Chains A and B, each alone.
Chain A
Amino acid sequence: MPMPIPISTPPLLEARGLTKFYGDRLGCRDVSFDIREGEVLAIVGESGSGKSTLLSLLSGQLPASAGEVLYRTRAGEIRDLAALSEAERRFLFRTDWGFVHQDAARGLRMGVSAGGNVGERLMAVGARSYGAIRAKAEDWLDRVEIDPTRIDEPPTAYSGGMRQRLQIARNLVTAPRLVFMDEPTGGLDVSVQARLLDLVRRLVADMGLAVIVVTHDLAVARLLSHRIMVMKQGRVIEEGLTDRVLDDPRAAYTQLLVSSILQP
């Protein structure tokens, strides 16, 4: 587990009583937590426990049935996400936030070159020098361990691991403060996973990012996160520092998860 973040800094994002119903079906219920810059929070739980629902609520992509998400902007204002205009929300999304999807095709433009993928956010916020955009894209490809000479290839020519690293470059190029990741290592070989996790860990530390990562893989949580939230049937049943939760789980369900996954 990485070094814990001192709690004296004010939260970057705060969730209060977040609840989502899809009609009658519960997505998640009464979720509250906060996260600070430099902190990685893992959300774990079985399939259908509400992890993706929670991520969509936190990133303002889905309206909550109840509760609120407060976000501290770069200007230092605390804003209720539900009260943001669509323009403000999109602006946050292309500057201050990143979203790494499990399925690279959802997070990348598969018909656009790697350089265009990385450069898109820069252009969206007004970059108009081709040379500077390209130089920055090359730098970011290098930082995510993609050979910069492959800058003009589309993601379809990349391996699964490379695609995930490209997604990360595309998201981090505007130096966001908060990155959401939904199963970023899902579907990758173990060795490819390890390399990706190592990269994410370094970038998080270098850039002081706050990361909310959804995973069903406790090993991923162990390696990346400072804190863990365990979800079951839409509720948070246990929360705490990663080592504490994994080494000394309190909820029976967490004990089951830990014993079934970490100790074969």
Chain B
Amino acid sequence: MNAPLSPQTAPAATGYNFAYLDEQTKRMIRRALLKAVAIPGHQVPFAARDMPMPYGWGTGGIQVTAAILGSGDVLKVIDQGADDTTNAVSIRAFFQKTANVAVTTRTAEATVIQTRHRIPEKPLKAGQTLVFQVPIPEPLRFLEPRETETRVMHALADYGLMHVKLYEDIAKHGHIAKTYAYPVEVEGRYVMDPSPIPKFDNPKLSMSPALQLFGAGREKRIYALPPFTRVKSLDFEDHPFEPTRFEAPCALCGATDSYLDEVVTDDRGTRMFVCSDTDHCEERRADGHRGLLAGDDLVDTITREADVERDDGAPIVPLP
């Protein structure tokens, strides 16, 4: 997105405009993005287009990426932290085919990172853009189903209900039970759904040097966190927000500060915990870090559970 924008002359596959969307549509999306950046955390409606894939694939994120991608960009796509899941591979291939952009799995090398459900472990830098795929953009949805009412609630910052939900959690479970899509308050103003990232990632949302864009395709909403936006996870003084902590380090690279996935290592159901951010884990191992189970053959045989469930039950089908 640091490269000049359209019109593009890059040799994309014939029959497509650069990055699939027509220029008119991209302009419309960029206008929505500009508004979203100007009002951090505020949901901006946009005329989402049909994409050649089902909604559960992250069509909102894909449209945002298509609208900001330039020919000089380097794209990374992750799904639950991994570059190698069907979803991530297909979206990456889609943009290689339609925009002919360079791709990478290295967080540090990417200029645009499209993500589902994670923020990379490596701190992002100025000039990078993180594009989130969002299934349900409205944080008040399950408390107040009427859209007319939620809009007024946002307009008036009438967010008592949000804390009622957290109160109910503590009353029922003794603590705030929400572990992902944990709601945040942006710059003391809008309450925002950070998409289904684990709450472990919430602190990374705040004061990031990178631009963070959120696209919801089915719900036709875009929102954004410009660089260095203050983002606070909602909580109570006496029940403060606490990011998930893991008891053991990553079994492969020994990292103690990364988000871990439970993975099955063989057909007897043996399990271990490894970094969900595959690039992070590989880089650490390349640097010589070793976890307890770091046999290199093992790494290739693990089954990623992350690959199994979708946000909306949409079937996992490869792109045409």
Contacts and interface: CB of A to CB of B under 8 A. Distances in A.
Interface of A: 86-87, 90, 94, 109, 112-113, 115-116, 119-121, 123-125, 128-131, 133-134, 151-152
A134 B174 CA distance: 13
Contacts of A112: 164, 168
Interface in B277-291: none
Interface in B157-215: 158-161, 163-164, 167-168, 170-172
A109 B164 CA distance: 10
Contacts of A125: 160
Q: For the complex, would chain A's binding face be called helix, strand, loop or mixed by DSSP majority?
A: helix
Contact of A121 (B155, B160, B167): B160
Q: For the complex, would chain B's binding face be called helix, strand, loop or mixed by DSSP majority?
A: helix
B156 A129 contact: no
B308 interface: no
17 contacts: A86-B155, A86-B156, A90-B158, A94-B160, A113-B168, A115-B171, A119-B167, A120-B160, A124-B158, A124-B161, A128-B235, A130-B237, A130-B238, A130-B239, A131-B238, A133-B167, A134-B171
B292 interface: no
Contacts of A129: 236-238
A152 B172 contact: yes
Given A116-B168, A124-B158, A128-B236, 8 more contacts: A87-B156, A90-B156, A94-B160, A115-B171, A120-B164, A124-B160, A130-B236, A130-B239
Nearest to A131: B238
Interface residues on B, range: 10 to 19
A133 B239 CA distance: 12
B164 A128 contact: no
A116 B162 CA distance: 11
Nearest to A121: B160
Interface of B: 152, 155-156, 158-161, 163-164, 167-168, 170-172, 235-239
A126 B168 CA distance: 17
A151 B171 CA distance: 9
A109 B168 CA distance: 12
Contacts of B164: 109, 112, 116, 119-120, 123
A154 to B, nearest CB: 10
B237 A128 contact: yes
A136 B238 CA distance: 15
Contacts of B161: 120, 124
B72 to A, nearest CB: 46
Nearest to A154: B168
A94 B235 CA distance: 21
A189 to B, nearest CB: 30
A61 B170 CA distance: 34
A89 B170 CA distance: 31
Contacts of A120: 160-161, 164
A121 B164 CA distance: 9
A123 B167 CA distance: 9
Nearest to B161: A120
A94 B160 CA distance: 10
A132 B163 CA distance: 14
B167 A115 contact: yes
A123 B234 CA distance: 12
B169 to A, nearest CB: 10
A123 B237 contact: no
